[in-house]
Amino acid sequence: MREGETFDFLVVGAGSAGSVLASRLTEDGTTTVGVIEFGGTDAGPLIQMPAALSYPMNLPFYDWGFQTEPEPHLGGRRLVCPRGKVIGGSSSINGMVYVRGHARDFDTWEEMGARGWGFRNVLPYFKRAETSHGGEDGWRGTDGPLHVTRGPLDNPLHHAFMEAGAEAGYGLTEDYNGSRQEGFGRMEMTIWKGRRWSAANAYLKPALGRKNLELMTRTFAHRIVFEDGRAVGVEVENGGGRRIIRARREVILAASAINSPRLLMLSGIGDGEHLQAHGISTRAHRPGVGQNLQDHLELYLQMTCLKPVSLYSKLNWVSKALIGARWMFSGDGIGASNQFESCAFVRSAAGVDYPDIQYHFLPVAIRYDGKLPVKAHGFQAHVGPMRSKSRGRVALTGPTLKDPPSILFNYMSHDDDWSDFRTCIRLTREIFDQPAFAPYRGEELTPGADKTSNEELDAYISEAVESAYHPCGTCRIGDADDKWTVVDPECRVVGVDGLRVIDSSIFPQITNGNLNGPTIMVGEKGADLVLGRTPLAAANAEPWINPDWAMAQR
């Protein structure tokens, strides 16, 4: 094996967390950092134009192409699990929705053993990451690399959705990423000046001009290299030849909730019996590697629209060409928005102290893959529970990273998941039945107004529920004495030296909402841990909790 370059730090993955690490670890000029990325460039309108969001996650050039094992509680369906194979990682192929999560999420992390990761500890890192355009004073960042904006709300259906929420008795929130998440309001997006503002655009590209940072694209990481129990490099392949790239100080995995546990297992860190079955010698027996896999599921409740105000008229090829041309020449118009411009976070029942249901509203009836249920004007709400009790796992199918992973989310394996989704459907129907939607409300397309019983709704859920593409949890952070912990609160892999994991795989429990925001926060805080810096001063901000939460659902 020939020797390659040597860096102080070696980061595997140029995605959401990896891009942050590349920037923060090199900004003072005292350390050298190498970043290994199997994907390539993010240039071109399919990634950079926000309205084209459905394309890159379905293209093998940008996506790893993972899919689940047959899910036993969903009739054996295989669901896709897109992960970015491009600089920026999944932030370059996602829906660009920005959600921090609720304060209680991170306090729960700390209760689960992630000391120093409570909300008071992570809020300063959220603020450091972002430049918020329209967020709540004192709660939002004002000079960070990540621009967070709001859509123009030009479509009247967005206003109808927020007004319907108020009419149904829910509150409104001016900033769900501020003090109050609960309620209906405007959705935030990682878009800046009409372009997708991925982690690559925000962090990685500005840092690439530094002499102490090297990005190695189209480079495949095979395994972590150890000497005397310490990670000292990564065996990679580029252009057909293999070499070892070395790290003087540390190797850091930021390769996603799917690939980070795979690399650990292929390097001998995981459940010893599982490793032995694939001919891999056990370096550190950590049965939690690959376990604790979590995700958000959602379904679409779709309606026909009685007025021709939805985006349906823009879905023909002539309109798409005109939208694309306007975006190319002026950077604005419909092409400059992901169209997710209104949303809600609500509680499912009295006794639930903070939101456990999320809504994305879209002024067209369409799937992520571009399929239309009918050729007509429509609108839809994406809705799903936030804290499923189901847990799955990522496992190996062979002794190399080129063997596809075995991914089993074990979706809907807990009885509460079914009742939670039925609640989601019924609450959504109530919202669409409000006066604000009266001028627009046609027939219910999905699941169909005739489906009302638990049995009918369960059958629809089983056939229609889809992933929201939020995998996490497979290298969970926690107390080093817990056998299911993979990384300690410093993000160091338990049982070996010189190795950390810093990405969404460390989440002990999934957060409320989309995961790109908290993954970027993990990169920000993780960079300080790697460099041994004093953490940013804890915040004393108190989140808004509905004073009637114990007695009322809204």
* Structure-block tokens of residue 294: 């979590």
Q: Active-site residue 470, yes or no?
A: yes
Residue corresponding to tokens 């909402």: 513
Q: Return the SS3 of 455.
A: helix
497 phi/psi in degrees, rounded to 5:
-115, 155
Which of 309, 300, 424 lies closest to 367, judged by CA?
Answer: 300
Which of 330, 310, 323, 341 lies closest to 151, judged by CA?
Answer: 341
Q: Return the SS3 of 546.
A: coil
Q: Is 95 annotated as a binding residue?
A: yes
207 CB-near residues (< 8 Å, 6+ apart) = 22, 23, 26, 27, 213
426 CB-near residues (< 8 Å, 6+ apart) = none
Q: Is 410 annotated as a binding residue?
A: no
**Neighbour tally for 111: CB within 10 Å:** 13
Catalytic residue among 158, 296, 360, 470: 470
Q: Is 97 annotated as a binding residue?
A: yes
**Strand order of the sheet with strand 291-293?**
291-293, 392-395, 406-408
* Structure-block tokens of residue 184: 């209906």
Q: Return the SS3 of 412.
A: coil
Rounded Cα distance, 458 and 455, in Å: 5
Q: What does 259-296 look like in DSSP terms, one character per residue?
A: HHHHHHHHTTEE-HHHHHHTT---SEE-TTTTEEEB--
26 phi/psi in degrees, rounded to 5:
-110, -5
Return the sign of the alpha-carbon dihedral for residues 60, 64, 68, 69.
Answer: positive
Q: Is 96 annotated as a binding residue?
A: yes
Q: Is 86 annotated as a binding residue?
A: yes
Residues making up the chain, counted from first to last: 554
Q: Output the known binding site.
A: 86, 94-97
Catalytic residues: 470
Q: Output the known binding site for FAD.
A: 86, 94-97
